[in-house]
Amino acid sequence: MSTAEETTGGEVEPWEEVTPDAARRLLVAAVEAFAERGYHATTTRDIAGRAGMSPAALYIHYKTKEELLHRISRIGHDKALGILRTAARREGTAKERLADAVSSFVRWHAGRRTTARVVQYELDALGPDARAEIVALRRQVDAEVRRIIEDGVAAGEFEVLDVRGTTLAVLSLCIDVARWFNVDGPRTPEEVGALYADLVLRMVGAR
């Protein structure tokens, strides 16, 4: 199983949206190549070779290398947004919802670290239209976290002077986990998620 499909718990990355199987294999190969070499240093020949296919076969499923990156980015951002939206809209106090949102978001960035690195750090390689679509999704991600913090401030649970700045700091902290997390390191994704949830609650002055 490839690194783009694995998590530390042995779960499979659910790329079920991508069909047929050949298109999925190419997408997984692209994730690995982009994460390892960067988008610009990766060629379509590199991707096809990792998928065990010819370069010509790639163009049957994806017109360009950018189309592959766009598909990866769209699926990844949809998943990340879904994680935060679920946590943000659950029952409970703002403190509980923020802790759940942060721990879940961090677990995804640790457990899906290969995919997350591509999703979060290759945005500028997209063309204007594709980039605008992903930026819109990022704004929704920001809005979900900001809304929880605003709820906490309004309820007297949090002490935050700059909600927008704090939201940016929280998301940056979570996303950066994809850069450094190591499956052979001392902490599991669950442990890192719990640690970051505690750090963020301290950041917002949770009572």
Mean pLDDT split into 10-residue runs, the chain, 207 residues:
43 71 95 95 95 93 95 95 94 97 96 94 95 97 97 97 97 96 94 98 95
List the structure tokens of 70.
């766009």
* Residue 111, C-beta contacts closer than 8 angstroms, at least 6 positions apart: 7, 8, 9, 11, 189
The total number of residues written for the chain in this structure: 207
Longest Cα separation, the chain: 60
Output the pLDDT for position 9.
37
Buried b (16+ CB within 10 A) or exposed e, 89-107: eeeeebbbbbbbbbbbbbb
Measured over the CA atoms of residue 35, residue 38, residue 44 and residue 50, the dihedral's sign is negative
Query: How far is Cα 146 from Cα 61, in angstroms, rounded to an integer?
Result: 38
pLDDT at 13: 52
Residue 156 burial class via C-beta count within 10 angstroms: exposed 0-12, middle 13-18, buried 19 and up: exposed
Whether the CB-CB separation of 147 and 167 falls below 8 Å is answered with: no
* pTM for the structure as a whole: 0.88
Cα–Cα distance for residue pair 15/79, rounded to 1 Å: 11
Rounded-to-integer distance, Cα 87 and Cα 44, Å = 38
Q: Residue 17: its pLDDT value, please?
A: 85
The pLDDT assigned to 11 comes to: 38
Q: Are 97 and 88 in contact (CB under 8 A)?
A: yes
**Which pLDDT does position 14 carry in this prediction?**
58
Q: N- to C-terminal Cα distance for the chain?
A: 44
What pLDDT shows up at residue 10? 36
